[in-house]
Amino acid sequence: MSSPSCEMDKDWDTSVQFLPASDNKKLEKKKGPGKVGAVIGVVIFLAVIALMTGLLVWHFHFRKDVRVKRMYSGSIRIINQVFEDAYENSSSSEFKALANQVTSQLKVIYSKSPQLAKYYVGSTVQAFSEGSVIAYYLSEFRVPVGQEAAVDNAMSSMDKLVDKARRSFHTPGNALVFEDVMSSGRAKTQTTDISLDTRLLSTSFSDSFKFSEHARTDHIGQIQSPGFPDSPYPSNTFLQWELRADPNHVIKLEFDTMNLEANCKNDFVKIYDSLVAIERRIMEELCGYYSPSSPLTFMSSGNVMLVTMATNDKKNYPGFRAKVSQVPRGSKALTCNGHLTGERGTFSSPNFPNYYPPQTRCEWSITVDPGKVVKVTFRKFLLSKSGLENSKDCWKDYVEVNGKKVCGEQPDRTVTETSKTNTMSVVFFSDASYVGRGFDAEFEAIDSNDPCPDQFQCRNQRCIKKELQCDGWNDCGEMSDELNCKCSSKDISCKNGLCKPMFWKCDGVDDCGDGTDEENCGCQAGQMKCKNNKCVSEKNQCDGRDDCGDGSDELNCGRVASGVTCTDLTYRCKNNKCISKVNPECDGTRDCEDGSDEENCDCGRSMFKTSRIVGGQDADEGEFPWQVSLHVKNSGHVCGASIISPRWLVTAAHCVQDDGRTRSYPTPTTTNTPTTMNDIALMELDGPVTYSDHIRPVCLPAAQHDFPAGNTVWITGWGATREGGFAAPVLQKAQVRIINDSVCNNLMGGQITSRMLCAGVLSGGIDACQGDSGGPLSNPSGNRMFLAGVVSWGDGCARRNKPGIYTRVTKFRGWINEKTGV
């Protein structure tokens, strides 16, 4: 059983350049002195001559010797050798003997290229692995400044040099036979494939370590960053973990913790499908903090994997820990070919929802009853996007259905294909670098004459409920359900023929797409609209006088005016001076003279990086750490609430009115007259909660905080208030948009007061029935969230044509402070 061995790699050169430089690294040319006017005098003139002479001498005698060290990584298959266990141990005589043979042959190979031969310094073999034997090496060159690109280019066609060298070996009996040569280097035509990792250039590591781990059937290994979990990882350190499995197995690397600095430029982990850090074999780069609930597992294509980690001088986080196990080739987790039959079924890419292995090809053939056709819908489609930035064709990872390739990430259920016959083939392909989470698909047998029984068929072949046609929401994903519609009186008739719900009128967002819904919303040309809807001349904006009457023409006038007249719209600092900036609190800039706008700002942040798989409705663990579930003895969850301090929660008044007895589900028809309701309550806890990654407060907005119509906000909850519905096991989230007060008031028959706030489902969104009474309406601002509202009546279900109603927290800010001190 091998346990991770730790050895300091003293040979590591801290000034190494990995891989070719792209555009940087040109030594700055020394500039000659500028023209000097004769009047300035002979002394300066002579000095200039002397300097120029010096520069010329430097240029011709030394400059051509300015060389930079360049390292290239590569791998090479030796087909006439058999792998021995001793090759895993770099101290063994067997390893050394074979390594010597490899390096001497590399020298011969480089001698076949004039550029490489001149600048070659030497190579070291980093590791060997099975198959027959694969050698992983680093080659060092000293390249004159300006020649880097030529060397990169020569390295990128190393396979041709290997052929050349092979023909010149006179004693083929002794020589190693090389195949599958792969080297870092950059051909002139390549732009994205191999790019220099400038972080490895600019950082000078003070330490480097190399570990190795061999997983076996009866041994699951573990790797972790130094110090984990007791202390943060070290600064300025480069680490490598060589992972191996037995022959005919692949490696499964399963992270249970990944907690690095959020900026990958500073600290990062990279995973390679190789034993040497070669960018053509990179699987993924990781940084930031991943929620433990989001799966993070990788699989190799062969029986080796390399994990590297680099850190800079600041901000050391806890680090990572991962399990290393082996999976037999051909096991169920990896097989992905198949013949599928029946009326309906599902299939997915290998390892879904975890990362698929690189270099994989799968093919499914689907057959349904004769007379029917096959329809495939991708419920999730999350292929790697890397490398696709500059190109539309799917030249890296793709799925091919009916001869049509699809790649990258696609919204749920928008990729759909129907066959012409009763069979269909689906191919999944992943190339050698960058992996993704893959796809999850369903198929069904359908009648080609009636592909959407009792439903509307979109142009992209999706079937949607008939009611969703012409309801103002893009349900098909490509708008075909919203074309050629007659709008109802509740809708805005857009000039382009679309119908949109009235509540998106005049909210500053162009919902029609042609601006119809934002026309006639206010003032004439040359005028600005005040917050109180008055129109004043644009010339009055920021002229220092309150022309609107509410001060809104003097807000956000570039610089923050301090000590302006206090109005309902200005922010009041602790020293009672007012400032003109809108929403200055906790925005990272000190705006008040006394800094009070940036006090008490440890709020509204979730600690985890949102994982990409969460595109739907499940909230990620720790994503809304202020969300509370209120339970009543013997009835379980009844309401939501939000943490605002270690001792205090905010919820809805109607959640606590009955003094501990379970309330019936509140509905819009609750006998309370909503217009007179102050539907908010504070709850004091017996003892303070301890903040953690999963428990933190939301930011309370200042009384003047502006949440304009059109803002996108989050509602969250377990959905327990849904009539007849059951609470979801996982916290649900949905995005909604704030609706203009007066529009909402009209739609709701005049029941909306200034203490309420309306929000509705996003155009194109689905019904969002996630809120629980008392739960938060969270408004993102910068990198934190403010509590804009408390789910009140309208049961938190944001429905298409019915807004959800929330208690407007800003109206109760003073009261909250008075009662809680928060």
Ligand X SMILES: *[C@@H]1O[C@H](CO)[C@@H](O)[C@H](O)[C@H]1NC(C)=O
Reply yes or no on whether 537 is catalytic.
no
Reply yes or no on whether 214 is catalytic.
no
CB of 184 to Ca ion, least distance (A): 51
Residue 740 binds ligand X (CB under 6 A): yes
CB of 410 to ligand X, least distance (A): 35
Residue 503 φ/ψ, nearest 5 degrees: -75, 0
Which residues in 472-511 contact Ca ion (CB under 5 A)?
473, 475, 481, 504, 507, 509, 511
Residue 182 binds ligand X (CB under 6 A): no
Rounded to whole angstroms, the Cα distance separating 196 from 17 reads 9
- Pick what 157 binds: ligand X, Ca ion, none; C-beta below 5 to 8 Å, kind-dependent: none
- Pick what 471 binds: Ca ion, ligand X, none; C-beta below 5 to 8 Å, kind-dependent: Ca ion
Q: Where are the beta strands (DSSP E) in 245-371?
A: 249-259, 268-272, 282-286, 297-299, 304-310, 319-328, 338-341, 344-348, 360-367
Q: Is the peptide bond before 144 cis (omega within 30 degrees of 0)?
A: no
Binding mask 683-712 for ligand X (x = CB under 6 A): --------------------------x---
Residues binding Ca ion: number (CB under 5 A): 10
**Binding span for ligand X by CB under 6 A among 60-68, 89-97, 315-323, 486-494:** 89-97
- Pick what 533 binds: ligand X, Ca ion, none; C-beta below 5 to 8 Å, kind-dependent: ligand X
Binding mask 519-548 for ligand X (x = CB under 6 A): --xx----------x---------------
CB atoms within 10 A of CB 362: 21
- Selected from 186, 252, 380, 505, the binder of ligand X by CB under 6 A is 505
Reply yes or no on whether 425 is catalytic.
no
Residues binding ligand X: number (CB under 6 A): 12
- Pick what 709 binds: ligand X, Ca ion, none; C-beta below 5 to 8 Å, kind-dependent: ligand X
CB of 481 to Ca ion, least distance (A): 4
Q: Which is nearer to ligand X, 92 or 157 (CB)?
A: 92
Rounded to whole angstroms, the Cα distance separating 138 from 183 reads 9
Residue 415 φ/ψ, nearest 5 degrees: -100, 115
Beta-carbon contacts of 472 under 8 Å, excluding residues fewer than 6 positions away, are 482, 487, 491, 498, 499, 500, 501, 763, 800
Beta-carbon contacts of 671 under 8 Å, excluding residues fewer than 6 positions away, are none
Rounded to whole angstroms, the Cα distance separating 799 from 803 reads 6
Which residues in 512-571 contact Ca ion (CB under 5 A)?
517
**Binding span for ligand X by CB under 6 A among 88-96, 139-147, 282-290, 297-305:** 88-96
- Pick what 668 binds: Ca ion, ligand X, none; C-beta below 5 to 8 Å, kind-dependent: none
Q: Specify whether the backbone of 118 is left (phi greater than 0), alpha (psi in -120 to 50) or beta.
A: alpha
CB of 94 to ligand X, least distance (A): 9
Question: Using CB atoms within 10 A of its CB, is residue 683 exposed (0-12), middle (13-18) or buried (19+)?
Answer: middle
Catalytic residue among 184, 433, 773, 778: 773
- Pick what 21 binds: ligand X, Ca ion, none; C-beta below 5 to 8 Å, kind-dependent: none
CB of 744 to ligand X, least distance (A): 9
The alpha carbon of residue 403 and the mean position of all alpha carbons in its chain are separated, in whole angstroms, by 30
Rounded to whole angstroms, the Cα distance separating 761 from 767 reads 6
Residue 506 binds ligand X (CB under 6 A): yes
Rounded to whole angstroms, the Cα distance separating 736 from 387 reads 33
Q: Is 135 helix (H, G, I), strand (E, B) or coil?
A: strand
Residue 3 binds ligand X (CB under 6 A): no
The alpha carbon of residue 481 and the mean position of all alpha carbons in its chain are separated, in whole angstroms, by 31
Binding mask 90-129 for ligand X (x = CB under 6 A): -xx-------------------------------------
- Pick what 481 binds: ligand X, Ca ion, none; C-beta below 5 to 8 Å, kind-dependent: Ca ion
Please give the C-alpha separations between residue 213 and each of 94, 249, 456, 650, 672, in angstroms, as whole numbers: 20, 14, 56, 50, 66
The label of the residue with tokens 């490509």 reads 478
Q: Which is nearer to Ca ion, 18 or 456 (CB)?
A: 456
Q: Is 322 helix (H, G, I), strand (E, B) or coil?
A: strand
CB 646 within 8 A of CB 689: yes
Nearest to 550 by CA among 538, 536, 560, 563: 536
Q: Which is nearer to Ca ion, 267 or 481 (CB)?
A: 481
Residue 745 binds ligand X (CB under 6 A): no
Binding site for Ca ion (CB under 5 A): 468, 471, 473, 475, 481, 504, 507, 509, 511, 517
Binding site for ligand X (CB under 6 A): 89, 91-92, 505-506, 521-522, 533, 709, 740, 742-743
Active site residues: 654, 679, 773
